[in-house]
């Protein structure tokens, strides 16, 4: 049996929210395989599939840029070391310009190598270093995504929540350019982005986008749960299928209750707008960023933070 280290136990605790002894037992049962241990805990009802307690917030901002006309959109995350700098106007201005700049980049590396949109005499990387020198903190472009409709009818829109800590970029498509400029359609795009921001467990637009392997894994986990051990096979299958259907719907945007009217689903809202504009439309894709998700952040005291800002060692 593989040695179960304290570090491995702690990592599983962060990922699942389960207790230390449960995590240790799960790792022993699965020979130290952290992924299988997570599944074992879920089968025992000890951990939730939607647990996000391993996501420790780092500082900075999530921001967006939407090109006039809504054909191109960007969602970007730029990190700094403290909330003090994240609130600084110079940092905010940098993030705004980087979001605009990222509309023509295909990776962080290519973005950093471009001539800076605000000053073509320097690269983006050099411009960031100038701001670092001014603010006295490390600043990094962590990630971004851009949607470009090209000649396809539709719109790209975004939503930023909680002062730049959560951001969403969405793409909706129609059949004609005329429908793309329809007020109802454009309102739907904004509302869809807000909906995604409000639903942290949503990962797909619809159930048909969920990979078959994921659904298969969910079934294996459910079939292994203790509360079904003594059920007849036919009854067990029905119970498991019901649980899987519920779980998959929790992961899809169209199956969510609409945040502005809980009596209808997002899919119902899409159908209403479709009827009003008189042609087919679809929510094509979306991306949701949460500031600092997955980043281990070194916690410092308020006194240490102030000292750092003043250059005191």
Query: Between 233 and 262, whose confidence is greater?
Result: 262
pLDDT number for residue 51: 46
State the chain's mean pLDDT as an integer.
Answer: 87
Q: Residue range 284-313: average pLDDT?
A: 67
Q: What percent of the chain has pLDDT over 70?
A: 90
pLDDT number for residue 238: 84
Each residue's pLDDT tens digit, 151-208: 999 999 999 998 899 999 999 999 999 999 999 999 999 999 999 999 999 999 999 9
- The CATH 3.30.479.20 domain(s) of the chain lie at 59-208+252-290
pLDDT number for residue 3: 81
Q: Looking at the domain that runs over 59-208+252-290, which CATH code has it been given?
A: 3.30.479.20
- The CATH 1.10.8.10 domain(s) of the chain lie at 6-51
Q: Which CATH architecture has domain 6-51?
A: Orthogonal Bundle (1.10)
Each residue's pLDDT tens digit, 109-148: 999 999 999 999 999 999 999 998 888 888 999 999 999 9
pLDDT number for residue 55: 34
How many whole angstroms separate alpha carbon 96 and alpha carbon 186?
23
The answer to whether residues 158 and 141 touch, using CB atoms and an 8 Å cutoff, is: no
Q: Which of 62-66, 84-88, 238-242 has the largest mean confidence?
A: 62-66
- Exposure string of 119-153, with b = 16+ CB inside 10 Å and e = fewer, is eeeebbeebbeebbeebebebbbbbbebbebeeeb
pLDDT at 230 over 90: no
6 exposure class (CB count in 10 Å sphere: 0-12, 13-18, 19+): exposed
Question: Angle at CA 72, nearest 5°, toward 71 and 76?
Answer: 155
pLDDT at 291 over 90: yes
pLDDT number for residue 57: 33
pLDDT number for residue 21: 80
Q: Residue range 257-279: average pLDDT?
A: 96
pLDDT at 298 over 50: yes
Query: Between 19 and 121, whose confidence is greater?
Result: 121
Each residue's pLDDT tens digit, 78-102: 999 889 999 999 999 999 999 999 9
Provide the pLDDT confidence category of residue 303 given band limits of 50, 70 and 90: low
pLDDT number for residue 38: 87
């Amino acid at each position: 049996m593989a040695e179960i280290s304290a570090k491995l136990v702690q990592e599983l605790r962060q990922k699942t929210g389960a207790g230390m002894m449960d995590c240790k037992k799960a790792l022993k049962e699965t020979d130290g395989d952290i992924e299988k241990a997570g599944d074992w805990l879920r089968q025992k009802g000890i951990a939730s599939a939607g647990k996000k307690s391993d996501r420790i917030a780092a500082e900075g901002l999530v921001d967006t840029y939407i090109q006039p006309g809504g054909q191109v959109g960007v969602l970007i995350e730029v990190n700094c070391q403290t909330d003090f700098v994240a609130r600084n106007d110079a940092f905010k201005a940098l993030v705004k310009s980087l979001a605009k700049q990222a509309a023509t980049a295909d990776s962080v590396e290519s973005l950093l190598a471009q001539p800076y949109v605000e000053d073509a005499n320097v690269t983006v990387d050099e411009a960031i270093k100038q701001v670092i020198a001014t603010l006295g903190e490390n600043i990094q472009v962590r990630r971004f995504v851009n949607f470009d409709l090209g000649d396809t009818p539709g719109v790209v829109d975004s939503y930023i929540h909680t002062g730049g800590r959560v951001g969403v970029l969405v793409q909706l498509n129609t059949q004609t350019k005329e429908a793309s400029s329809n007020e109802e359609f454009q309102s739907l795009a904004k509302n869809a982005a807000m909906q995604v921001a409000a639903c942290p467990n949503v990962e797909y637009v619809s159930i048909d986008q969920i990979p078959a392997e994921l659904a298969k894994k969910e079934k294996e986990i459910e079939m292994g749960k203790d509360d079904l051990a003594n059920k007849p096979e036919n009854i067990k299958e029905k119970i498991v299928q019901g649980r899987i259907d519920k779980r998959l719907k929790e992961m899809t945007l169209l199956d969510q209750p609409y945040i502005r009217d809980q009596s209808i689903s997002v899919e119902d809202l899409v159908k209403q707008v479709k009827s009003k504009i008189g042609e087919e439309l679809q929510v094509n894709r979306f991306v949701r960023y949460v500031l600092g998700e997955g980043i281990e952040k070194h916690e410092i005291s308020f006194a240490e933070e102030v000292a750092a800002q003043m250059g005191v060692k």
